[in-house]
């Protein structure tokens, strides 16, 4: 009798898991993701159409999430009566379910960010941010586990930080906050693997850091990232068994990631991008966007331009107005700080000025020798973030040529006119360049009371209409001889 009972128990031990496996079947969840929206409200109606279509097909198995940098880039968002609120209102209306913060969420200060977070109907997740009593921004949850039709989905939020201890931005924006390195922070949460069927990192750290994280943390299934504005093609970027995804910037694309699970295990992950300019806009959301864009103060003309001005043309103009207003001998403006690709010919409105330069940048000045200028230019040219080795800093008051070796690395800089060895020159920089770029004098520049958008508004008014000139940019040349570098002038 006992023998029969034992045999029955063994048979049940073998049969029940097999029976459960045959019955649990497959389930899918679809994640629609955005990143680096930067106030791109014009595409939001198309995103709304896309999301509504997926919800109509299977609302119970859909997550809508964002990987940070929701504002800074569109005056209708950044200069609204409640700054930044239009994008939050749109996200609430569309039913976002989670987000992480980007560095630009801090651009208008902690108090305003706290207000926008409190107005958000979705959680903001950041594991690597610590808030002290002196901070205006309260601590945020590090992660959230969603139950989607019985599937446990863990989202872990991560935000970029830099050697100065916080995301890119003025030091005063981060008073009372600390930002531990995102990678070791993420590793401290790897036990979420045990309490989830799908483990997702929702990050704003850039695609290269995402790839390193995937290498170190195979417990993850999926990384939905932002910050580097990378358009990863359909299929994403598989790294160490983890799929890394990103959609670029400005809502040009939405990410669609479909995960198939069987018996609580991930069996397949498919990722693709949807170009939102191919999707018909939703009328309800289009009406909301038109309301934001109808603000009369932002439609006021400040001048005009006879021809289209490209990003490179505008970088030269920015540098010129900074140098002249600050009484500096030279100035440099970073090309990435110009947030439009083209300013079209015709009237230039207040909205377009702030669209070009949405940061409210303060002009800083400092004294630099030729060797210190060379250090600034070479460090940026050779930086990890400038893998293409392109010219980033556009000069005013002088020209320069980066000399490269056979591998394309910058090894020297020639200045025109030649600079006097040891002489100090007054240089104007934007607050971003002076505080975030890698050079020995970083953070030592003095702020002026000059705001770049004010300078640009005045420039377009006084020079109406603007006539396009050759853009002032640095140059690149291969170093031919050691003798050439000796002719550089200090």
Nearest 5°: phi and psi at 207?
-65, -35
Opening angle at CA 147, ends 146 and 150, nearest 5: 155
Residues 57-92: b if buried by 16+ CB within 10 A, e if exposed: eeeebbbbbbbbbbbbbbbbbbbbeebbbbbbbbbe
Q: What is the pLDDT of residue 17?
A: 40
Contact 86, 80 (CB under 8 A): yes
Q: What is the pLDDT of residue 23?
A: 52
Q: What is the pLDDT of residue 3?
A: 46
- Report the mean per-residue pLDDT for the chain: 90
| 202-223 pLDDT, tens digit each | 999 999 999 999 999 999 999 9
Helices in 145-282 by DSSP H: which ranges? 182-187, 207-216
pLDDT band for position 304 (cuts 50, 70, 90): very high
Share of the chain above pLDDT 70, in %: 92
Dist. CA 59–CA 257, nearest whole Å: 15
- Cis bond upstream, residue 417 (ω within 30): yes
Q: What is the pLDDT of residue 412?
A: 95
pTM of the model: 0.75
Dist. CA 430–CA 260, nearest whole Å: 48
Q: What is the pLDDT of residue 59?
A: 82
Domain at 296-486, CATH class: alpha beta
Picking from 155, 140, 158, 142, the residue whose alpha carbon sits closest to that of residue 96 is: 155
Share of the chain above pLDDT 90, in %: 78
| 381-421 pLDDT, tens digit each | 999 877 778 899 999 999 999 999 988 899 999 999 999 99
Dist. CA 156–CA 127, nearest whole Å: 7
Q: Is 361 helix (H, G, I), strand (E, B) or coil?
A: coil
Q: What is the pLDDT of residue 95?
A: 98
**Is the confidence at residue 484, as pLDDT, over 70?**
no
**Is the confidence at residue 15, as pLDDT, over 50?**
no
pLDDT band for position 25 (cuts 50, 70, 90): confident
**Is the confidence at residue 197, as pLDDT, over 70?**
yes
**Is the confidence at residue 61, as pLDDT, over 50?**
yes
pLDDT band for position 480 (cuts 50, 70, 90): low
Domain boundaries, the chain: 24-290, 296-486
Contact 116, 88 (CB under 8 A): yes
375 CB contacts (<8 Å, ≥6 apart)? 439, 440
| 137-178 pLDDT, tens digit each | 999 999 999 999 999 999 999 999 987 889 988 888 999 999
Rg of the chain over Cα atoms, rounded to whole angstroms, equals 26
Domains 24-290 and 296-486 agree in fold: no
Q: Domain 24-290 maps to which CATH number in 3.60.21.10, 2.60.40.10, 1.10.3720.10, 2.60.40.2300?
A: 3.60.21.10
Contact 350, 298 (CB under 8 A): yes
Strands 130-131 and 177-178: antiparallel
| 419-442 pLDDT, tens digit each | 999 999 999 999 899 988 999 998
Dist. CA 198–CA 219, nearest whole Å: 10
Instruction: Specify the residue for token string 């060895």.
Output: 421
């Amino acid at each position: 009798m006992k023998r029969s009972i034992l045999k029955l128990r063994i048979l049940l031990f073998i049969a029940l898991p097999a029976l459960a496996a045959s019955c649990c079947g497959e389930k899918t969840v679809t994640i629609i993701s955005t990143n680096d929206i930067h106030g791109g409200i014009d595409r939001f109606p198309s995103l709304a159409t896309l999301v509504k279509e997926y919800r109509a097909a299977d609302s119970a198995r859909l997550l809508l999430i964002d990987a940070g940098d929701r504002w800074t880039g569109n005056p209708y968002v950044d200069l609204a009566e409640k700054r930044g609120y239009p994008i939050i209102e749109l996200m609430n209306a569309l039913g976002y379910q989670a987000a992480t913060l980007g560095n630009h969420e801090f651009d208008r200060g902690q108090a305003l960010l706290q207000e926008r977070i409190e107005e958000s109907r979705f959680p903001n997740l950041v594991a690597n941010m610590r808030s002290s009593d002196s901070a205006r921004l309260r601590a945020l949850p590090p992660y959230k586990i969603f139950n989607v039709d019985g599937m446990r989905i863990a989202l872990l939020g991560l935000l970029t930080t830099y050697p100065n201890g916080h995301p890119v931005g003025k030091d005063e924006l981060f008073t009372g906050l600390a930002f531990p390195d995102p990678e070791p922070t993420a590793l401290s949460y790897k036990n979420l693997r045990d309490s989830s069927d799908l483990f997702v990192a929702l990050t704003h750290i850039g695609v290269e850091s995402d790839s390193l994280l995937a290498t170190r943390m195979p417990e993850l299934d999926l990384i939905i990232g932002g910050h580097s504005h990378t358009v990863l093609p359909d299929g994403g970027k598989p790294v160490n068994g983890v799929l890394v995804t990103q959609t670029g910037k400005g809502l040009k694309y939405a990410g669609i990631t479909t995960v198939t699970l069987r018996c609580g295990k991930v069996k397949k992950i498919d990722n693709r991008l949807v170009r939102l300019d191919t999707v018909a806009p939703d009328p309800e959301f289009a009406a909301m966007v038109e309301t934001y864009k109808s603000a009369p103060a932002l439609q006021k003309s400040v001048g005009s331009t006879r021809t289209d001005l490209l990003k490179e043309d505008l970088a030269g103009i920015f540098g010129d107005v900074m140098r002249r207003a600050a009484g500096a001998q030279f100035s440099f403006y970073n090309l990435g700080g110009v947030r439009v690709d083209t300013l079209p010919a015709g009237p230039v409105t207040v909205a377009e000025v702030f669209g070009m330069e949405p940061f409210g940048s303060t002009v800083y000045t400092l004294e630099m020798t030729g060797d210190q200028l060379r250090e600034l230019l070479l460090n940026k040219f050779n930086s990890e973030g400038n893998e293409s080795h392109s010219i980033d800093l556009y000069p005013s008051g002088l020209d320069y040529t980066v000399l490269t070796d056979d591998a394309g690395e910058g090894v020297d800089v020639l200045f025109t006119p030649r600079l006097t060895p040891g002489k100090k020159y007054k240089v104007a920089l934007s607050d971003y360049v002076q505080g975030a770029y890698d050079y020995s004098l970083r953070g030592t520049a003095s702020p002026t009371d000059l705001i770049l958008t004010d300078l640009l508004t005045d420039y377009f008014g006084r020079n109406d209409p603007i006539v396009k000139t050759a853009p002032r940019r640095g140059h690149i040349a291969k170093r031919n001889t050691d003798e050439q570098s000796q002719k550089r002038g200090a």
